[in-house]
């Protein structure tokens, strides 16, 4: 299959040639003709499968003829500022041989300046739901919208944007095309799709919640207090050029970054406590190769598009198994090989099982020589569990005993009262 055969027109073909896209990916092959036919679509596609081009190319082609005097013609909603920027950059590189004005509306930037720019004939808007709503409440008109895209819809809903999305919909004209992309097929997404899609074509490019095939996954068993050391060892001994490392919490992200710095590894940190400006700066510096390690919490697992990132490391497994899929989707993008390594301690034994259940495959578990888990910690853990269980049993026994005592006391009190009454009467 070629982009040409899919019906993609010359200015776009020239642009993707410059980007060295040779053959369309699966999602592109299936989505492009349907979008060009003006159909609503519901697509489940993993990050890294080329889904941005799958909607952006046909969207640009559909808007190729300038419409004098019309307002915004396409709106693309995405969950995060980082992802919005990525989409904005991608669209602009695809549209480089076209005359079409795009703009990005995300928080953290001056609302008034954005409003001013919108008046200069912007046709495509890429926005996060909250900021778009702010503009709508300030008079932005969407009556000319022809295409409405929801990218990473599952993430938007998980982030609590359901209400905002529902508030945006009434601003759109009755007749418009809607394209919904989601990494997972959750109940929430299904409900939303019923509300906003009109006779959609379904595209499922990967099995539900499976990880991308080209990713090698492995888990190294290690003790909690040796994880940072093992990580530094892996990066050094295997000569990883750049790695993205995920932690579960902000605190462990900061802790890990400090530890890695002590080992002489240059690293940046991205998490929710960092300002948006600082997150963006760190990401840009990482992309420019200014440091080798980027430590991030799940907030950053979406919206990061780092070309040819070969390694993703889970320093800690995520609390939500679905986040594992999002995290490892950062590697092995668009058919390239990637490796996802998880460092798991005894306490993550059950988390990894949940992940395996979700992705429908076993993740091989190995031990790195010199980092073998201490068997005593295992025993201590089991002992703790046993102790807790025993404690709980004792607790239950005590409660039962207490209840029995209370019952007996109540009974004897009753009897004593009765006896007192009879003796009084007898007198
Ligand atoms: P996405 O899933 O949209 O985040 O895309 C993942 C990466 O694949 C991005 O870096 C795109 O530039 C790249 N990409 C998208 N489509 C193709 C293609 N047909 N051939 C090669 N690379 C692609």
Please tell me if the CB atom of residue 24 comes closer than 6 angstroms to any atom of ligand 1: yes
Which positions ≥6 away from 84 have C-beta within 8 Å?
76, 78, 104, 106, 126, 127, 128, 303
Do the bridges between strand 124-127 and strand 201-204 make them parallel or antiparallel, or are there none, so unpaired?
unpaired
Q: Give the distance (Å) from ligand 1 centre to CA of residue 30.
A: 15
Please tell me if the CB atom of residue 51 comes closer than 6 angstroms to any atom of ligand 1: yes
The SS3 of residue 312 is strand
Do the bridges between strand 74-77 and strand 177-182 make them parallel or antiparallel, or are there none, so unpaired?
unpaired
Name the helix (H) or strand (E) containing 365.
Answer: strand 365-366
The SS3 of residue 344 is strand
Do the bridges between strand 215-221 and strand 267-270 make them parallel or antiparallel, or are there none, so unpaired?
unpaired
CB 295 within 8 A of CB 269: yes
Residue 299 CB neighbour total at 10 angstroms: 17
How far is the CA of 32 from the CAs of 50, 75, 150, 334, in angstroms? 12, 18, 16, 16
pLDDT of residue 413: 67
pLDDT of residue 92: 96
How far is the CA of 195 from the CAs of 17, 168, 306, in angstroms? 38, 13, 34
Please tell me if the CB atom of residue 334 comes closer than 6 angstroms to any atom of ligand 1: yes
Q: What is the largest CA-CA distance in the chain?
A: 115
Please tell me if the CB atom of residue 305 comes closer than 6 angstroms to any atom of ligand 1: yes
Nearest protein CA to atom 4 of ligand 1, as residue? 48
Please tell me if the CB atom of residue 155 comes closer than 6 angstroms to any atom of ligand 1: no
Nearest protein CA to atom 18 of ligand 1, as residue? 21
Please tell me if the CB atom of residue 176 comes closer than 6 angstroms to any atom of ligand 1: no
The edge-to-edge listing of strands for the beta sheet with 124-127 is 102-105, 124-127, 74-77, 147-150, 177-182, 41-44, 201-204
Q: Give the distance (Å) from ligand 1 centre to CA of residue 334.
A: 5
End-to-end CA distance of the chain: 109
Give the separation between CA 362 and CA 355, rounded to whole angstroms: 9
Please tell me if the CB atom of residue 303 comes closer than 6 angstroms to any atom of ligand 1: no
pTM above threshold 0.75: no
Give the separation between CA 306 and CA 405, rounded to whole angstroms: 68
Residue where the block lists tokens 């079409």: 100
Give the separation between CA 382 and CA 288, rounded to whole angstroms: 46
Pocket test for ligand 1, best of 96, 179, 333 (most atoms within 8 A of CB): 333
- Please report the atom of ligand 1 found closest to the CA of residue 45: 2
Nearest protein CA to atom 21 of ligand 1, as residue? 21
**Closest by CA position to 184, among listed 163, 215, 214, 206:** 206
pLDDT of residue 18: 93
pLDDT of residue 241: 86
Please tell me if the CB atom of residue 345 comes closer than 6 angstroms to any atom of ligand 1: no
pLDDT by residue, tens only, the chain of 427 residues? 899 999 999 999 999 999 988 888 889 999 999 999 999 999 988 777 789 999 999 999 999 998 888 899 999 999 988 889 999 999 999 999 999 999 999 887 788 888 888 888 899 999 999 999 999 999 999 999 999 999 999 888 888 888 899 999 999 999 999 999 998 777 888 889 998 999 999 987 755 455 556 678 899 999 999 999 999 999 989 888 889 999 998 899 999 999 999 888 899 998 877 777 788 888 888 888 899 999 998 766 555 555 557 788 999 998 888 788 878 877 765 556 678 999 999 888 888 998 888 787 889 999 999 999 988 776 555 556 566 666 666 655 656 666 666 676 677 667 766 766 655 555 4
Nearest protein CA to atom 20 of ligand 1, as residue? 21
Give the separation between CA 183 and CA 359, rounded to whole angstroms: 13
CB 55 within 8 A of CB 126: no
Please tell me if the CB atom of residue 78 comes closer than 6 angstroms to any atom of ligand 1: no
Q: Give the distance (Å) from ligand 1 centre to CA of residue 199.
A: 28
Cα 376 to its chain centre, rounded Å, is 36
Nearest protein CA to atom 19 of ligand 1, as residue? 24
Q: Give the distance (Å) from ligand 1 centre to CA of residue 107.
A: 26
Please tell me if the CB atom of residue 129 comes closer than 6 angstroms to any atom of ligand 1: no
CB 361 within 8 A of CB 239: no
- Please report the atom of ligand 1 found closest to the CA of residue 24: 19
Nearest protein CA to atom 5 of ligand 1, as residue? 50
121 sits in the region (left: phi over 0; alpha: psi -120 to 50; else beta) called: left
């Amino acid at each position: 299959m070629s982009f040409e055969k899919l019906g993609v027109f010359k200015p776009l073909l020239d642009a993707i040639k410059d980007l060295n896209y040779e053959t369309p990916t699966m999602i592109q092959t299936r989505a492009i003709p349907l979008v060009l036919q003006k159909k609503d679509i519901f697509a489940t596609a993993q990050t890294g499968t080329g889904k941005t081009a799958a909607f952006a190319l046909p969207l640009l082609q559909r808007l190729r003829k300038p419409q004098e005097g019309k307002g915004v013609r396409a709106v693309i909603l995405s969950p995060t500022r980082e992802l919005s920027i990525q989409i904005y950059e991608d669209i602009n590189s695809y549209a480089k041989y076209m005359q079409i004005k795009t703009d990005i509306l995300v928080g953290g930037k001056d609302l008034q300046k954005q409003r001013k720019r919108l008046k200069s004939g912007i046709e495509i808007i890429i926005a996060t739901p909250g900021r778009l709503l702010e503009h709508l409440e300030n008079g932005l008109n969407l009556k000319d919208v022809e295409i409405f895209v929801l990218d990473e819809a599952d993430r938007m809903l998980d982030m609590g944007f359901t209400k905002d999305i529902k508030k945006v919909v009434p601003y759109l004209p009755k007749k418009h095309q809607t394209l919904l992309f989601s990494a997972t097929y959750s109940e929430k997404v299904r409900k939303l799709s019923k509300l906003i899609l009109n006779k959609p074509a379904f595209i499922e490019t990967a099995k539900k919640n499976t990880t991308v095939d080209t990713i090698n996954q492995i888990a190294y068993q290690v003790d909690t207090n040796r994880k940072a050391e093992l990580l530094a060892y892996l990066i050094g001994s295997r000569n990883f050029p750049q790695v993205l490392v995920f932690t579960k919490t902000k605190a462990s992200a900061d802790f890990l970054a400090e530890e890695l710095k002590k080992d002489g590894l240059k690293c940046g940190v991205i998490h929710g406590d960092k300002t948006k400006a600082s997150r963006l700066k760190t990401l840009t510096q990482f992309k420019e190769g200014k440091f080798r390690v980027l430590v991030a919490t799940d907030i950053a697992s979406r919206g990061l598009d780092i070309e040819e990132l070969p390694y993703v490391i889970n320093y800690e497994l995520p609390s939500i198994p679905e986040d594992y899929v999002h995290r490892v989707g950062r590697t092995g993008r668009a058919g390239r090989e990637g490796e996802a390594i998880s460092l798991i301690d005894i306490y993550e034994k059950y988390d990894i099982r949940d992940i395996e259940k979700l992705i429908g495959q076993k993740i091989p578990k190995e031990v790195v020589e010199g980092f073998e888990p201490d068997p005593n910690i295992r025993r201590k853990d089991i002992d703790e569990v046993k102790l807790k269980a025993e404690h709980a049993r004792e607790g239950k026994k005590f409660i039962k005993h207490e209840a029995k005592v209370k019952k007996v006391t109540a009974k004897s009190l009753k009897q004593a009262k009765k006896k007192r009454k009879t003796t009084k009467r007898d007198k």
